[in-house]
Chains A and B, each alone.
Chain A
Amino acid sequence: MIQAILVFNNHGKPRLVCFYQRFPEEIQQQIIREIFHLVLKRDDNICNFLGGGSLIGGSDYKLIYRHYATLYFVFCGDSSESELGILDLIQDLVETLDKCFENVCGLDLIFHMDKVRYILQEVVMGRMVLEINMNEIVAQTEGQNRLEKSEGGLSAAPARAVSTVKNIGLLEIPRIINTGDLNIKVPNPSQFV
């Protein structure tokens, strides 16, 4: 079973936090920091598994992570999960994000944390993997987005107008912020699964 899914950047700033077991907020942050320090000191060319930190789980839990450009995707799973399987799942998740956001980049994750969460909810539910078929995930996400759009209707029109106005400014974000959160490179689909 999956205990937690965390995405954070190279500086340990959380981009997506999803705990499937209740931890108080400060403990959550502590766990993120601990895991960040664990993965940070690992080279990119060494293996992607490591024993769970002291805070999360116990000896039965392990961390499976992938590092993309500026982001770490970390899954914490127990012994019933296949390590290589989860590794592929992370890859699939990123590819799915790529499809849903049309060339996903770090900024998408920053500004649309809610949307990312909705996508994740189609992949993992209640500590277990729900769906691995990428097309199905994308289809369901798009279905929900369509429903949302259709609901938009009249009442949301002003809000949308406002948000468009605001987003005019958003277009400049990359230049303003310039954090180096560039495109997440999506490597070739891995050889597993």
Chain B
Amino acid sequence: MALKMVKGSIDRMFDKNLQDLVRGIRNHKEDEAKYISQCIDEIKQELKQDNIAVKANAVCKLTYLQMLGYDISWAAFNIIEVMSASKFTFKRIGYLAASQCFHEGTDVIMLTTNQIRKDLSSPSQYDTGVALTGLSCFVTPDLARDLANDIMTLMSHTKPYIRKKAVLIMYKVFLKYPESLRPAFPRLKEKLEDPDPGVQSAAVNVICELARRNPKNYLSLAPLFFKLMTSSTNNWVLIKIIKLFGALTPLEPRLGKKLIEPLTNLIHSTSAMSLLYECVNTVIAVLISLSSGMPNHSASIQLCVQKLRILIEDSDQNLKYLGLLAMSKILRTHPKSVQAHKDLVLQCLDDKDESIRLRALDLLYGMVSKKNLMEIVKKLMTHVDKAEGTTYRDELLTKIIDICSQSNYQHITNFEWYISILVELTRLEGTRHGHLIAAQMLDVAIRVKAIRRFAVSQMSALLDSAHLVASSTQRSGICEVLYAAAWICGEFSEHLQEPQQTLEAMLRPKVTTLPGHIQAVYVQNVVKLYAAILQQKERAADTQAAQEVTQLLVERLPQFVQSADLEAQERASCILQLVKHVQKLQARDVPVAEEVSALFAGELNPVAPKAQKKVPVPEGLDLDAWINEPLSDSESEDEKPKAIFHDEEPRHAKQRPPEADEQELARRREARKQEQANNPFYIKSSPSPQKRYQDAPGVDHIPVVQIDLSVPLKVPGMPMSDQYVKLEEERRHRQRLEKDKRKRKKRERERRGARRHSSLHTESDEDITPAQRVDIVTEEMPENALPSDEDDKDPNDPYRALDIDLDKPLADSEKLPVQKHRDAETSKSPERQDIAVVEKKSKKPKRKEKKHKEKEREKKKKEAEKGADLDFWLSTAPPAATPAPEEPGVNAAVAAPKEEREEPRGEEQDAAEDGEQDLEKKPSKHKKKKHKKDKEERSKDQKKSKKRAPPREGEAEPVENGALDEEPLPPMSSYSLLAENSYIKMTYDVQGSLQKDSQVTVSVVLENQSSSFLKNMELNVLDSLNARLARPEGSSVHDGVPVPFQLPPGISNEAQFVFTIQSIVTAQKLKGTLSFIAKNDEGSTHEKLDFKLHFTCTSYLVTTPCYSDAFAKLLESGDLSMSSVKVDGISMSFQNLLAKICFHHHFSVVERVDSCASMYSRSIQGHHVCLLVKKGEKSVSVDGKCSDSTLLSNVLEEMKETLAKC
């Protein structure tokens, strides 16, 4: 017994691990299933062990089996056990298994809440990380609710590794627990400016994903994203943002206008194809949203089309594919510019890659015009013949039909050609789309009256050769066309040349092998034909022939009476009796033709497919109410077979006595004419004098331009569509000649009249007159049909719950649930804990009251402001013109309290408070963005910190709510003059970026002050040891960097240059030259302009928010050196002073108490710079601490200069 146990434990040591399992499975290829079931049994044994290592090993193996398709949910509890192991090794295995197999229906998942919470707050970053990763796969609404607060805390974790995961998982939390979105959003937004590129990218990811589903709620973030777009160098982030803008522009066309320029610059400058492609895509979206009224954007379209052409011509199939895809988007709004590249698209039709061919087909759809339709379809027809594989051929077939039938057959000038194309398509073998062709035939024959004669002749030929179409091997699809053929021949039998022959064709015994519904149509239309023949014969008084026809029917109809199809059988027996009755009457020499044809009298009108839906519900009718209470649920409704053509309604119309409607018809005809005149899709005749003459006889009455129909009609059998192409060309040529002649005459006349018109004659689409008088009967709609199509959103859409207004300030009740027994607030960073405890005790009730009021006020303001901010941002002129508001919200965090008052601007401002000082409108506008951010920060603090002490009344209070009057801040611009001459003015601004630690971006605004056109601009700088201009790869240090645009007179634009800096502790100057060519009427000259770029230490600082607790820790750490300055004679308010420091020196206010404020900033190389700013009477002292003393003293010197100007 004891031996057995020992043996057991040794065996255990030889338990299979994952590798053994894999190897075993590979060695048991024949009986894999059996081997695996053996292994699962072993795993079950292992899971019963107490040893966690054994369990973990077992779970690891299960994860592998899950991948092979084995359900492992039975081990869910064991997985949780492994998840809660203390060792990371096991924990990781557990979480991996959980992420593979847990889902919302897993019942044990609720047991994990506390374990996950524990792991989230684990000191080891990998424990936290693995928990976050796992949770992202199986988060449930309950977990989301319980853990939202913990995760939100992790968003401010010190380690970027945790921060980025926490940010990313928030998206899942929002989805499962939408209530968390608003409380968590401010912090998420902060993360957009996180110093770590990974965290920033995660935040962009999440917000873009949120915004994609509910774009309108995120419009207010546009300025922030705009700034990211112009400053970020991370292509992933850029792509996401640019995609997001593509979703936002349809909601706000002004945004589009603002975007065009930076996007165009990106298109010019980027070398990354992925970025280029997305830029082009978004430019297209912008252009679509602007569509009309922006004539000067043709350059952008041209640019896009050009770039796409390059993509399409690339040998890389992926680029080709995407190029075509994007091209089809442009096509929708700017077909002209794409049509120029028809050659390219047709070329793609020959590509070996099917997906590229399909894309090219999509494009062709939009590229056809009256002029080229025949040519394109001809090309497609040859492809149909060549195509291998039925799917692609079917796709071609549907595309041909789509192309031809689009917008009410807009591009078809010759319907005879179209009918012959359709007939040719019926010869395709094995297509599934017979019903499509059939539907087209029916539609054309019904709606184009002029074509009926031709259609009928073709259809009768088709019926005659039905055996070809419906040969048994391929009867499934294509025989549907016989349905159409039979119906057309029957309905328009008066146009038949040889009705008798067609009748016989339809009564052949072979017909009974056709599908039932087609037989039924045959039977019905045989009678229509019969009626027509009877009438014809009786008119000719040929009773003998009439009786023969009747006899034929009596003989042949019984074959349908035996049909297996109910419909065919029923109709056949009914009609057989009818014909027998007619036979009797005929025997007595009674004329019957009139009565028989009365069965089918009346005209058919096409009814719009939506017509039924559009009938308004009469008042007082409740469609949901029962008319009779339901008896039992056993009755099931009979489903009607789906009709190919909406023929139910027309049938009703037929029953009506035609006279009764005469007036009504006339009225409708009038209305229809009116409608057609206004309908852009209706084929209108060009307003040439000749055409006007044609118009005279009235739209409904019929063929006018009779062309050489005789030729193709006499061609026996089926005409080749190619003949029509040729004919059509000839016809058009004739027409053109005629027209030219007329034109010439006219011009001569005009010339004589001494008036000149610049009549450049280009043949436009409209010039081509259709071969037949095309009378497309528009589809009928019920009277007072409901207008718009309301697109119903799917109520089950999970993203719908996230349609939440994020701009509304948070209410007190909106808090993430916090576990009661834990004091979750102690660990949170954004709280202010460093406020005197003494104050905390006093005045509590009073403070609460006040705070509430304050909040209310702020709320109102903020709401008004949000709209206004965006409004303002959007309404500013293009970037270069007004540089100051270009970077709203970038640098500063404080603004004068005065500006919190909103001026009434636009409708959004109606609610704004008493706007006393209209005078201050302009200055404050410029700052709005900045103080918004500040306020957000402040109000967030207010809301979150319950413990926060009240500021002493009367002193700090005004600062908080900003109600007191203070002088307004003048507009500030961070751009300073670089150099200027008679041609050009350069202003510049230097910004550091936290992502690349030794790079700064210099934005130079170039303004053309001359009347010349400036081009070939090139900027060159003499590099120093410490600072170098980043030049494109492959160029030497002496080469200049080209400016990616040209400047027409009076225009300004902004170019950005990147410099690499070694040491940032001292300021420095770089000498440089801008060379350019100035071109005017007299000629062009080379010019240059020298300048000195000044890199201040300030320009290496980047505004970085900092929480007071982190700030305090930083100061305590003691590894900072200290320095201070004092400036006298300052009369500016403290508020404005801070705003200035924030704006010009890239600081953010950490905390402000009375006339004392702590501020923080970070250099691009990670130096912390902390300031304590104190205002005395007429003087300001600034104490600074920084990890580098030289940097600090330099920054303070610069600050002194700024302050001295106050």
What residues make up the interface of A, taking CB atoms closer than 8 Å to B? 1, 14, 16-17, 20, 22, 24-26, 28-29, 43, 45-50, 80, 82-85, 87-88, 110-114, 117-118, 121, 125-133, 136, 140, 143-144, 147-148, 151-152, 155-156, 158-159, 162-163, 166-167, 170, 173, 177, 191-193
On chain A, the residues within 8 Å of B96 by CB distance are 114, 117-118, 121
The answer to whether the Cβ of B60 comes within 8 Å of any Cβ in the partner chain is yes
- Given A14, A16, A133, which contacts B198 in the complex, CB threshold below 8 Å? A133
The answer to whether the Cβ of B103 comes within 8 Å of any Cβ in the partner chain is yes
On chain A, the residues within 8 Å of B354 by CB distance are 46
A133 to B240, CA, bound (A): 16
Using A16-B67, A80-B243, A131-B198 as known contacts, say yes or no to A193 and B92 having CB atoms under 8 A apart.
no
A80 to B168, CA, bound (A): 15
- Given B168, B240, B322, which contacts A125 in the complex, CB threshold below 8 Å? B168
- What 0/1 readout, one digit per residue, does chain B (495-508) give for beta carbons within 8 Å of chain A? 00000000000000
CB atoms of A151 and B88 under 8 A apart: yes
- Count CB-based A-B contacts (< 8 Å): 170
CB atoms of A47 and B88 under 8 A apart: no
CB-defined A-B contacts under 8 Å, sample of 28: A14-B67, A22-B104, A25-B69, A25-B71, A29-B69, A45-B317, A47-B320, A47-B321, A47-B355, A82-B278, A84-B273, A84-B274, A84-B277, A85-B236, A111-B18, A112-B19, A113-B63, A114-B96, A125-B165, A126-B133, A126-B136, A129-B236, A147-B124, A148-B89, A159-B13, A163-B17, A167-B19, A170-B23
A14 to B25, CA, bound (A): 13
CB atoms of A46 and B88 under 8 A apart: no
Q: Which residue of B lies closest to A21 (CB)?
A: B103
- Given B209, B236, B356, which contacts A80 in the complex, CB threshold below 8 Å? B209
Using A82-B243, A113-B67, A148-B89 as known contacts, say yes or no to A166 and B17 having CB atoms under 8 A apart.
yes
Among A84, A147, A162, which residue has the most Cβ atoms of chain B within 10 A?
A: A84
A152 to B103, CA, bound (A): 31
Q: A47-B321, A110-B26 are in contact. List 7 more A-B contacts (CB 8 A).
A: A46-B353, A46-B355, A80-B209, A126-B169, A129-B236, A140-B161, A192-B274
A151 to B356, CA, bound (A): 53
On chain B, the residues within 8 Å of A129 by CB distance are 201, 205, 236
CB atoms of B317 and A47 under 8 A apart: yes
The answer to whether the Cβ of B164 comes within 8 Å of any Cβ in the partner chain is yes
Q: Which residue of A lies closest to B353 (CB)?
A: A46
The answer to whether the Cβ of B700 comes within 8 Å of any Cβ in the partner chain is no
CB atoms of A144 and B68 under 8 A apart: no
Q: Which residue of B lies closest to A27 (CB)?
A: B69
The answer to whether the Cβ of B608 comes within 8 Å of any Cβ in the partner chain is no
The answer to whether the Cβ of B126 comes within 8 Å of any Cβ in the partner chain is yes
A168 to B19, CA, bound (A): 12
On chain A, the residues within 8 Å of B273 by CB distance are 84, 191-192
On chain A, the residues within 8 Å of B198 by CB distance are 130-131, 133, 136
Using A82-B277, A85-B236, A159-B13 as known contacts, say yes or no to A151 and B89 having CB atoms under 8 A apart.
yes
Among A28, A47, A88, A111, which residue has the most Cβ atoms of chain B within 10 A?
A: A47
A112 to B93, CA, bound (A): 13
Using A47-B320, A140-B161, A193-B275 as known contacts, say yes or no to A28 and B14 having CB atoms under 8 A apart.
no
Nearest CB on A from B867, distance (A): 27
A121 to B197, CA, bound (A): 18
CB atoms of B19 and A121 under 8 A apart: no
CB atoms of B274 and A193 under 8 A apart: yes
The answer to whether the Cβ of B450 comes within 8 Å of any Cβ in the partner chain is no
A144 to B273, CA, bound (A): 35
| Beta-carbon contacts under 8 Å, B82-97 to A | 87-89, 92-93, 96
Q: Which residue of A lies closest to B90 (CB)?
A: A151
CB atoms of A114 and B60 under 8 A apart: yes
- What 0/1 readout, one digit per residue, does chain B (546-568) give for beta carbons within 8 Å of chain A? 00000000000000000000000
| Beta-carbon contacts under 8 Å, B16-31 to A | 17-20, 22-23, 26
Q: Which residue of B lies closest to A165 (CB)?
A: B14
On chain A, the residues within 8 Å of B275 by CB distance are 193
CB atoms of B205 and A193 under 8 A apart: no
On chain B, the residues within 8 Å of A45 by CB distance are 317, 352
CB atoms of B274 and A88 under 8 A apart: yes
Using A84-B322, A125-B169, A191-B273 as known contacts, say yes or no to A166 and B19 having CB atoms under 8 A apart.
yes
CB atoms of A85 and B209 under 8 A apart: no
CB atoms of B209 and A84 under 8 A apart: no
Q: Which residue of B lies closest to A146 (CB)?
A: B126
CB atoms of A80 and B212 under 8 A apart: yes
On chain A, the residues within 8 Å of B53 by CB distance are 155-156, 159
A158 to B104, CA, bound (A): 39
CB atoms of A125 and B19 under 8 A apart: no
CB atoms of A82 and B239 under 8 A apart: yes
- What 0/1 readout, one digit per residue, does chain B (42-78) give for beta carbons within 8 Å of chain A? 0000000000010000001001101111110000000
Using A25-B70, A85-B239, A192-B274 as known contacts, say yes or no to A114 and B18 having CB atoms under 8 A apart.
yes
Nearest CB on B from A28, distance (A): 7
CB atoms of B317 and A113 under 8 A apart: no
CB atoms of A128 and B209 under 8 A apart: yes
CB atoms of B104 and A113 under 8 A apart: no
On chain B, the residues within 8 Å of A25 by CB distance are 66, 69-71
- Given A47, A143, A193, which contacts B235 in the complex, CB threshold below 8 Å? A193
CB atoms of A192 and B104 under 8 A apart: no
A49 to B842, CA, bound (A): 67
The answer to whether the Cβ of B206 comes within 8 Å of any Cβ in the partner chain is yes
A166 to B13, CA, bound (A): 11
CB atoms of B171 and A128 under 8 A apart: yes
The answer to whether the Cβ of B137 comes within 8 Å of any Cβ in the partner chain is yes
- Given A121, A144, A193, which contacts B236 in the complex, CB threshold below 8 Å? A193
A132 to B198, CA, bound (A): 8
The answer to whether the Cβ of B442 comes within 8 Å of any Cβ in the partner chain is no
Using A16-B67, A22-B104, A143-B126 as known contacts, say yes or no to A131 and B164 having CB atoms under 8 A apart.
yes
Nearest CB on A from B229, distance (A): 15
Q: Which residue of B lies closest to A14 (CB)?
A: B67
A192 to B274, CA, bound (A): 6
The answer to whether the Cβ of B964 comes within 8 Å of any Cβ in the partner chain is no
